[in-house]
């Protein structure tokens, strides 16, 4: 079994704590690695390294910093197969999707490297004669990045790439469920001549090591991708030092299928958005609303399509999804379905833990007859389970879709351009997909409304999260 070290101040080092986190392959149940269960000493050592290195790093040109991002992309590409294999093992992600994540991550480093010569300040018209107002964009400083387990490699890059490009230094904490690919990346990064301290990886519990990272006076910004509960704790912990937070949290995305939709396209779009990675994706379709005139036809096709979904070994190319991340997640999904049934909903297919020899599988599940105000329609399931509700008219369905504490993604299926444009105007979500599955591009802006988050990631606006402004008033 492999053991890993923390990556602090440019070196792979033993943790101050003598405790370990066991990383389980959720499909086989095997313990595949031990990573340090780091403590406050590790957190503080990483922050001090990040703090000491940041001013010199910010003084490099953006193009110099971009050079390191390009080298990271090259390292990932040269090790793409092995990284995908490890990722598939540590979280039971099907190998095809794991490979997409690894390759997308390399592209992501390269994409942000390209921003070095693009982001800029502004010259603003002054109210005074013979005065220039110059707006500079400067790095925020020391960033703490906290990652979830569902896209651990990509979300790592989503924080590291814009932070380093803008001249910030960063301490990144992977999830205790899925730290292995991140530490494999740390070993690759250790071979670069990256200035020591600008990039640090420390593992440990969110409530202890994570909390210390967030509360420290050395931390200038915290970027978390995770649950609403973790986001709330981080807002509280960041209050003392008024530390900037950027939060990408949970979702409960509605998929709306209008009467004029291409039904087969809608069935495929909703299915793909529900079962990808066993339903454990923040932007997954979590509830569907289908016009009553096509409801029965849609349900017929959709239930059959869900029944045909093959789940199993993540390394079998025919597998669509594999195990849930752990037993707790499998139990949570099952308890939500049980409560939905007791509240009067009907399970049209699935509705139970799958009977497999290994892993924590949940059957692809379609639920009808759930009430709009019920838990299964309002709370994130994070599994291959979807309630489908009928609607009568446009105003009703927009109100139902918007009636939710989350506001991350949404989708509409229609062949009417007017309905497309109206829906985009009326839906209160950070992303709206039209006639396609839910999955964002790196040049967009992934940002949740309401409890789905504050700020966002990707593209120009994601880069701006890591920059603060300074305006100079210059008389001449
Ligand atoms: P989680 O909130 O349990 O953990 C996320 C990370 O936060 C972990 O590294 C954890 O150790 C850390 N953490 C928890 N409490 C903390 C605290 N008080 N202080 C500091 N760190 C703390 O989430 P998860 O189970 O890993 O991920 C699933 C959740 O993430 C889902 O709700 C999903 O929707 C969301 N998610 C959102 C996006 C997005 O882009 N909006 C992307 C992926 C996942």
Q: Nearest CA to 75 among 223, 198, 193? A: 193
What pLDDT, on the 0 to 100 scale, is given for residue 390? 98
The residue contributing the CA closest to ligand 1 atom 12 is 206
For 80, counting Cβ atoms within 10 Å of its Cβ (0-12 exposed, 13-18 middle, 19+ buried), the class is middle
Cα-to-centroid distance, 148 and ligand 1 (Å): 4
Atom of ligand 1 nearest to the CA of 231: 2
Q: Nearest CA to 458 among 143, 235, 246, 170? A: 246
Residue reference for tokens 């849609």: 298
Cα-to-centroid distance, 174 and ligand 1 (Å): 10
List the strands of the sheet with 365-368, edge to edge.
Answer: 346-349, 365-368, 385-391, 285-291, 253-257, 409-413, 431-434
Cα-to-centroid distance, 220 and ligand 1 (Å): 20
Atom of ligand 1 nearest to the CA of 226: 30
What pLDDT, on the 0 to 100 scale, is given for residue 1? 87
The residue contributing the CA closest to ligand 1 atom 16 is 206
Q: Nearest CA to 466 among 147, 160, 48? A: 160
What pLDDT, on the 0 to 100 scale, is given for residue 245? 98
The residue contributing the CA closest to ligand 1 atom 11 is 206
The residue contributing the CA closest to ligand 1 atom 13 is 206
Q: Which residues are designated catalytic?
A: 248, 282
Mutating to test ligand 1, I would choose from 40, 213, 230, 237 the residue with most ligand atoms within 8 A of its C-beta, which is 230
φ/ψ bin of 209: left (φ > 0), alpha (ψ from -120 to 50), beta (otherwise)? alpha
Would you write out the chain's pLDDT as a tens digit for each of its 476 residues? 899 999 999 999 999 998 999 999 999 999 999 999 999 999 999 999 999 999 999 999 999 999 999 999 999 999 999 999 999 999 999 999 999 999 999 999 999 999 999 999 999 999 999 999 999 999 999 999 999 999 999 999 999 999 999 999 999 999 999 999 999 999 999 999 999 999 999 999 999 999 999 999 999 999 999 999 999 999 999 999 999 999 999 999 999 999 999 999 999 999 999 999 999 999 999 999 999 999 999 999 999 999 999 999 999 999 999 999 999 999 999 999 999 999 999 999 999 999 999 999 999 999 999 999 999 999 999 999 999 999 999 999 999 999 999 999 999 999 999 999 999 999 999 999 999 999 999 999 999 999 999 999 999 999 999 999 999 999 99
What count of residues does the chain have? 476
| The two structure tokens encoding residue 218 | 């050395």
Contact 120, 137 (CB under 8 A): yes
**Which residues partner with 224 through β-bridges?**
146, 247
**Which residues partner with 410 through β-bridges?**
432
Question: Residue 356: which residues within 8 A CB-CB, separation 6 or more?
Answer: 311, 312
Cα-to-centroid distance, 115 and ligand 1 (Å): 28
pTM (predicted TM-score): 0.96
Cα-to-centroid distance, 210 and ligand 1 (Å): 11
Residue reference for tokens 């080092």: 13
Rounded CA-CA distance 398/403 in Å is 8
Residue ranges and CATH numbers for the domains of the chain are 2-249+451-475 (3.40.605.10), 253-441 (3.40.309.10)
Q: Nearest CA to 411 among 326, 307, 291, 284? A: 284
Ligand 1 pocket: which residues have CB below 6 Å? 146-150, 173, 175-176, 206-207, 210-211, 214, 224-227, 230, 233-234, 248-251, 282, 380, 382, 408, 446, 448, 453
Residue reference for tokens 């406050």: 40
């Amino acid at each position: 079994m492999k053991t890993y070290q923390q990556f602090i101040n440019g070196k792979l080092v033993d943790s101050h704590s003598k405790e370990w986190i066991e990383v389980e392959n959720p499909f086989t149940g095997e313990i595949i690695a031990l990573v340090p269960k780091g403590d406050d000493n590790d957190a503080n050592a990483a922050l001090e390294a990040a703090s000491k290195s940041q001013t010199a790093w910010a003084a490099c040109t953006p193009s110099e910093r971009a050079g390191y991002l390009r080298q990271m992309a090259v390292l990932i590409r040269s090790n793409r197969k092995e990284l995908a294999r490890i990722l598939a093992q540590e979280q039971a992600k099907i190998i095809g999707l794991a490979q997409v994540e690894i390759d997308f991550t390399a592209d992501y480093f390269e994409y942000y490297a390209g921003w070095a010569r693009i982001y800029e300040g502004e010259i603003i018209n002054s109210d005074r004669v013979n005065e220039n107002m110059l707006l500079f964009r400067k790095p925020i400083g020391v960033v703490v990045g906290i990652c979830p387990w569902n896209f651990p490699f990509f979300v790592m890059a989503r924080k590291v790439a814009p932070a380093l490009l803008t001249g910030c230094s960063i301490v990144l904490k992977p999830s205790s469920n899925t730290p292995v690919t991140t530490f494999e990346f740390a070993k690759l990064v250790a071979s670069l001549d990256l200035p020591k301290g600008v990039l640090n990886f420390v593992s440990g519990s969110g409530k202890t090591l994570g909390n210390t990272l967030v509360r420290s006076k050395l931390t200038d910004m915290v970027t978390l991708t995770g649950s609403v509960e973790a986001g709330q704790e981080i807002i509280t912990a960041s209050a003392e030092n008024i530390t900037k937070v950027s939060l990408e949290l949970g979702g409960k995305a509605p998929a709306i299928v209008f009467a004029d939709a291409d039904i087969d396209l809608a069935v495929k779009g909703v299915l793909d958005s529900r079962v990808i990675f066993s339903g454990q994706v923040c932007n997954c379709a979590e509830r569907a609303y289908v016009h009553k005139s096509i409801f029965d036809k849609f349900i017929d096709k959709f239930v059959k399509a869900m029944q045909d979904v093959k789940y199993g070994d993540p390394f079998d190319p025919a597998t669509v999804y594999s195990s849930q991340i752990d037993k707790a997640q499998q139990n949570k999904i099952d308890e939500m379905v049980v409560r939905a049934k007791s509240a009067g909903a009907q399970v049209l297919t699935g509705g139970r833990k799958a009977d497999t020899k290994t892993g924590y599988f949940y059957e692809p599940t379609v639920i009808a007859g759930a009430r709009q105000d019920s838990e299964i329609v309002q709370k994130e399931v994070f599994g291959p389970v979807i309630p489908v509700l009928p609607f009568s008219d446009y105003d009703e369905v927009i109100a139902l879709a918007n009636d939710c504490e989350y506001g991350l993604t949404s989708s509409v299926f229609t062949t009417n351009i007017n309905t497309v444009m109206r829906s985009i105007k009326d839906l209160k979500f950070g992303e709206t997909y039209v006639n396609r599955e839910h999955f964002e591009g790196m040049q967009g802006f992934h940002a949740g409304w309401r409890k789905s988050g504050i700020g966002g990631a990707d593209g120009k606006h994601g880069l701006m999260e890591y920059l603060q402004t300074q305006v100079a008033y210059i008389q001449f």
